Amino acid sequence: PYEVLVVGGGPAGAAAAIYAARKGIRTGVAAERFGGQVLDTMGIENFISVKETEGPKLAAALEQHVKAYEVDVMNLQRAEKLLPAGADGLIEVQLANGAALKARTVVISTGARWRQMNVPGENEYRNKGVAYCPHCDGPLFKGKRVAVIGGGNSGVEAAIDLAGIVSHVTLIEFDGKLRADEVLQRKLRSLPNVKVIVSAQTTEVTGDGAKVNGLVYKDRGTGETHTVELEGIFVQIGLLPNSEWLKGTLALSPRGEIEVDAHGRTSLPGVFAAGDVTTVPYKQIVIAMGEGSKAALSAFDHLIRTSAP
Ligand code: FAD
């Protein structure tokens, strides 16, 4: 059995694996796609101490760093079920290929995915004007026109944030009214360079072949379609944690995030979690790495307290 089994190979999982392996304990990583969301990212400018890098480059560096240690890297392996420790004290993780891995502690770092609009042009112009993370990509649109799709808390926060950087923000909400907290809505309404459009369904992202130049929405009241000319679109209609496989096994928040305490402990003894799949706010690479490191140290602490002398 592993002493620490990490499930997920993004920034959080890579950090957890390195911290665990550096304790000289038997460490494994099972990941559906080693690198995680970083693989889908173009420019990264907020990975502190690295002024600028690219997702695939950072993902390769993560893998190299992990492989510098004695870590069993099991790539292209999807976990489907977790069974709490039985009498033998071993937690079991069942994989889609039918194999079962046993471990004294598990760090879950299966990340999250942005909910997409699923409209024509969205995938084609991803990273070419279509963005999902205002903290990451906001500065790329300095002085330009953008739209934010979604009028929940994250959409309205994004619009407020972006309004300070870009020239103009159009916020588009499907519903008849915004769902964000009133205090955020009040702040939004006070901004001169923000326009809010409700009852609007985005139907298409348009571009010139190289980058985004507009979006098309349908007024759900009249059925008419309208075009907005812009350079960027921030899709803020939800971040979905990859925790479906854990439903009923450990405590999840109403949004499906794994509930963790300040040590990265979940509701199950010996099971820790880190990164975008957890309730820890602000889904970012540096944060995921810090949380992954912390979860591995907590797992190590758990091991030294529970193992026979
Ligand atoms: P992830 O990166 O999501 O990794 C999850 C890992 O778990 C993957 O290996 C995945 O394959 C695996 N996995 C999932 N389910 C299972 C399963 N059932 N079994 C086994 N493995 C599984 N952050 C920044 O700080 N700066 C940026 O510039 C930036 N830009 C971004 C741009 C885009 C387009 C996107 C999508 C995100 C961006 N982010 C950025 C956010 C950042 O990528 C995430 O916060 C970070 O990757 C989270 O790390 P993680 O390890 O928690 O999860």
Distances (CA, A) of 309 to 303, 304, 306: 11, 9, 9
| CATH level 3 topology of 2-113+239-306 | FAD/NAD(P)-binding domain (3.50.50)
- The Cα–Cα gap between 267 and 37 comes to 26
**Amino acid, single-letter form, for residue 96:** A
Nearest CA, atom 45, ligand 1: 284
Q: Tell me how far the alpha carbon of residue 143 lies from the centroid of ligand 1, in angstroms.
A: 29
Three-state DSSP at 68 gives: coil
Average pLDDT per consecutive 10 residues, the chain (309 residues; last block may be shorter): 98 98 98 96 93 96 98 98 96 98 98 97 96 95 98 97 98 97 97 98 98 98 98 97 98 98 98 98 97 98 88
| Mutational test site, ligand 1, from 38, 62, 236, max ligand atoms within 8 Å of CB | 38
Contacts of 99 (CB under 8 A, 6+ apart): 77
Nearest CA, atom 39, ligand 1: 284
* Residues near ligand 1 (Cβ within 6 A): 7-13, 30-34, 36-38, 40-41, 44, 46, 78-79, 109-112, 114, 132-133, 136, 242, 245, 275-276, 283-286, 288
- The Cα–Cα gap between 76 and 63 comes to 14
- Tokens (6 digits) for 151: 């009028």
Nearest CA, atom 14, ligand 1: 110
- Please tell me the predicted confidence (pLDDT) of residue 165: 97
The CATH architecture one would assign to domain 130-235 is: 3-Layer(bba) Sandwich (3.50)
- The Cα–Cα gap between 31 and 156 comes to 34
Residue numbers belonging to the annotated binding site for FAD: 3-18, 266-276
Q: Which of 143, 149, 104 is CA-nearest to residue 131?
A: 149
Does the interface ipTM go beyond 0.95?
yes
Torsion angle (degrees, nearest 10) of CA 179, 183, 185, 189: 170
Q: Where in the chain is the domain with CATH 3.50.50.60?
A: 2-113+239-306, 130-235
Q: Tell me how far the alpha carbon of residue 112 lies from the centroid of ligand 1, in angstroms.
A: 6
